[in-house]
Amino acid sequence: MNRIKNIGIGSTQGGDISAVYIMSSVTSTFENVKAVVLSAHKNSTARDKIGFYNSWAKNYEQDLAVLDYRAPTLATNTISSHFSGATEAAVVLDVACGTGLMAKQMKKYGFEHFVGVDGSKAMLEMARESGLYEDLKQCILGDEPFPVTWVSLFDVVVIIGALSDGQVPVEVVRDLCKSTKPGGYICMTSRGNRSNLQYKASLEGLLKQMEEEGLWMRVEVTEVEEWERAVSEDEDGYIPGVVYLYKKL
């Protein structure tokens, strides 16, 4: 696979998020990061959200560190506890890859071959600079067709952080399954905070339906109480989350 080239930085959309983002880039205190994350909720369209992530890319990783965002570590631990093949030969599809946090974590466990897809050009540029990805594709999940050539190609497919209300439609998980080799693993995460419970229920309904259709089998579902620091005004401390691991049949 050829590494993607000449990814440009997209223009920022989504109202006043630039000012909030600049504030965060200077101090990265919890209150400022909280303001950045909450500003994303004001964006009602997929294009607006892409503009938000374009503006956030440079500070994305350090801001998530302030939030004590644990999803990449938790997901990688789950994958590594079940994956029995040669990690150095496995090809991983990192969906909604962002700046490459998941690839960086999986690299520690011996995984070496990564393909990434994300809707944000600026995030993809950061992922490219990591040097971990053999190929990167831009795709607004749920708004644009999933790359049709990615059928039964990957040993592991991951989508970490994007399966939440207002982000990626639950139907995208069918594309994840199609992209996975028979016997390969699909790892997904979602949040369990109050505002995401309806989405989480829809997601789990589809996961169960696909299991009943004989597309995959559930390997492990792990509920985690302290997923990341809460940013909503009506929640304190940490919000919960969940890691789903399925094996394609």
Indicate if the pLDDT at residue 10 is higher than 50: no
Examine the domain organization and report whether 38 and 99 are in the same domain.
Answer: no
Examine the domain organization and report whether 86 and 189 are in the same domain.
Answer: yes
Q: Tell me how many domains the chain contains.
A: 2
Tokens standing for 175? 């594309």
For residue 133, being part of any structural domain is answered with: yes
The pLDDT value recorded for residue 36 is 87
The pLDDT value recorded for residue 215 is 98
Under the banding of pLDDT at 50, 70 and 90, the label for residue 21 is very low
For residue 7, being part of any structural domain is answered with: no
The pLDDT value recorded for residue 43 is 62
The pLDDT value recorded for residue 5 is 31
The percent of residues above 90 in pLDDT, for the chain, comes to 77
Give every CB contact of residue 16 below 8 A, 6+ residues apart in sequence. Answer: 39
For residue 4, being part of any structural domain is answered with: no
Check: CB of residue 184 under 8 Å from CB of residue 178: no
For residue 27, being part of any structural domain is answered with: yes
Examine the domain organization and report whether 139 and 166 are in the same domain.
Answer: yes
For residue 8, being part of any structural domain is answered with: no
Three-point CA angle 191, 145, 185, nearest 5°: 50
Indicate if the pLDDT at residue 29 is higher than 70: yes
For residue 116, being part of any structural domain is answered with: yes
Examine the domain organization and report whether 84 and 170 are in the same domain.
Answer: yes
Examine the domain organization and report whether 56 and 147 are in the same domain.
Answer: no
Three-point CA angle 122, 123, 126, nearest 5°: 90
For residue 181, being part of any structural domain is answered with: yes
Examine the domain organization and report whether 59 and 179 are in the same domain.
Answer: no
CA distances from 224 to 104, 228, 241, 242 (A): 22, 10, 5, 6
- pTM (two decimals): 0.88
Of residues 229 and 22, more confidently modeled: 229
Indicate if the pLDDT at residue 8 is higher than 80: no
Examine the domain organization and report whether 102 and 162 are in the same domain.
Answer: yes
The pLDDT value recorded for residue 223 is 97
Mean pLDDT of 212-235: 95
Under the banding of pLDDT at 50, 70 and 90, the label for residue 42 is low
Examine the domain organization and report whether 180 and 223 are in the same domain.
Answer: yes
Of 33, 48, 66, which one is at a domain's C-terminal end? 66
Which residues share a beta bridge with 228? 239
Mean pLDDT of 173-201: 97
Closest CA to 230 of 66, 85, 105: 66
Give every CB contact of residue 87 below 8 A, 6+ residues apart in sequence. Answer: 80, 109, 110, 111, 112
Do strands 133-138 and 238-248 pair parallel, antiparallel, or not at all (unpaired)?
A: unpaired
Examine the domain organization and report whether 114 and 60 are in the same domain.
Answer: no
Examine the domain organization and report whether 100 and 46 are in the same domain.
Answer: no
Question: For 25-39, 101-115, 181-195, which range has the lowest pLDDT when averaged over its residues?
Answer: 25-39
For residue 187, being part of any structural domain is answered with: yes
Examine the domain organization and report whether 112 and 215 are in the same domain.
Answer: yes
Residue 58: give the domain boundaries.
17-66
Examine the domain organization and report whether 59 and 108 are in the same domain.
Answer: no
